[in-house]
Amino acid sequence: MKLLEQIKIGNYTLKNSMVMAPMTRSRANFDGIVGDNTVLYYTQRVSAGLIISEAINISKQAIGSPLTPGIYTSEQISAWKKITQAVHEKGGVIYAQLWHTGRVGHSLVKNGEKPVSPSPLAIEGQQHFTSEGMKDYETPRELSIEEIKNIVQDYKQAAINAMEAGFDGVELHSAFGYLPNQFLAESVNQRNDQYGGNTENRNRFVLEIMQEMIKAIGSDKVAIRISPTSTYNSIIHQNPLEQFTALIEDLNKMPLSYIHIMNVPFPADKFPLYPANSVETFGKLTQHKVIANCGYTKETGEEELEKGIAKLISYGTLFLANPDLPKRFELNAELNQPDRATMYGGQDQGYTDYPFLNQ
């Protein structure tokens, strides 16, 4: 089974080709510090070839949702050290996913500060979870060029902090409508300066972040996640084929660990210019190893690897509910079903109490 075959990523030989996808679990405290139950949560799932952490806020400004972790204070870094050390002691490899939510947030979560965005355009047709329940999205504040440059440096510092915390690499969360993705999309980015107005300018923010992180922590330790067809968080691309082809061509010039492609379904009648399959369309263009993501099963994951474009498959809810997922795939064993009511927030229930096969 290809899913269980070893594979090299960066400087690491992974025990299999199954990746634990990044999943927000909202189990940090109000200061963005993860606790001992998070140490257990990750070490339970160390049979994954690669673990990608939940999205980690790179700064105070980056926070969009309550009880999500950060990596910008010494206390936060120290808490992550416990996790990376425990994962390494059990033979695991773990990358940090670095996160700035941009306009996907609310002032109730940000101590009264408004969310920021490339342009002052609110998310429509959705609400955001806050400490006071679900709220309509606010119109974000447009970032100045100086602020954009500062955020690029925040990503650089977060990558440095991740190395100090013991992570093996970092993944830029440039998908699913968060800040880097907002710069890539015309539906959010309506700037007419060097960060907007055409494909090259819309890609600039992401490419500057990647370049700075590589300079800071070295070759083959930096990766990126993209979602060319996701329409979540009011993201619409006028020509994703042109946009992401140009992005990948520039990423090909960089020494990356991998490119993580979310193959998000979309209504084809509403978006006729969208490629039917992001992994096939954009995976063929990259010189880097491809991790394919979005709703894969054992069977469809194996089929994807057989095609030869993707080299690894990442699993989200299946790893959430099955800490020993590779063993279950190997034995064709029954899978635990995820409890959606306990995915976000709470304590150990739905977090560290999913049974292993031998329990």
What is the C-alpha separation between 304 and 290, in angstroms, rounded? 11
* Cα distances (Å, whole numbers) of residue 309 to 227, 260, 281, 292: 16, 12, 10, 9
**CATH for 60:** 3.20.20.70
Partner residues linked to 13 by β-bridges: 8
Average pLDDT over residues 308-324: 98
pLDDT at 359 over 80: no
Give the other-Cβ count within 10 Å of 265's Cβ. Answer: 11
Return the percentage of the chain with pLDDT > 90, whole number: 97
Annotated catalytic residue 178: yes
Mean pLDDT of the chain: 97
In a domain, 350, yes or no: no
Cα 72 to chain center, whole Å? 17
Q: What is the pLDDT of residue 131?
A: 81
Question: Which tens digit of pLDDT belongs to each residue from 330-350?
Answer: 999 999 999 999 999 999 999
Q: Which two tokens stand for residue 2?
A: 């290809």
Q: Which two tokens stand for residue 78?
A: 């120290």
In a domain, 358, yes or no: no
Average pLDDT over residues 217-234: 96
In a domain, 160, yes or no: yes
Strand runs labelled E in 120-219: 127-130, 133-136, 141-142, 169-174
Return the percentage of the chain with pLDDT > 70, whole number: 100
Question: Which tens digit of pLDDT belongs to each residue from 39-97?
Answer: 999 999 999 999 999 999 999 999 999 999 999 999 999 999 999 999 999 999 999 99
Residue of 12, 155, 178, 195 marked active site: 178
In a domain, 301, yes or no: yes
Q: What is the band of 358 on the pLDDT scale with cuts at 50, 70, 90? A: confident
In a domain, 349, yes or no: no
In a domain, 82, yes or no: yes
In a domain, 355, yes or no: no
- Quote the domain boundaries for residue 196: 2-342
Q: Is pTM beyond 0.95 here? A: yes
Question: Which tens digit of pLDDT belongs to each residue from 16-25?
Answer: 999 999 999 9
Q: What is the pLDDT of residue 47?
A: 98
In a domain, 35, yes or no: yes
What is the tally of structural domains in the chain? 1
Question: Which tens digit of pLDDT belongs to each residue from 120-176?
Answer: 999 999 999 888 889 999 999 999 999 999 999 999 999 999 999 999 999 999 999
What is the chain's Cα-based Rg?
Answer: 19
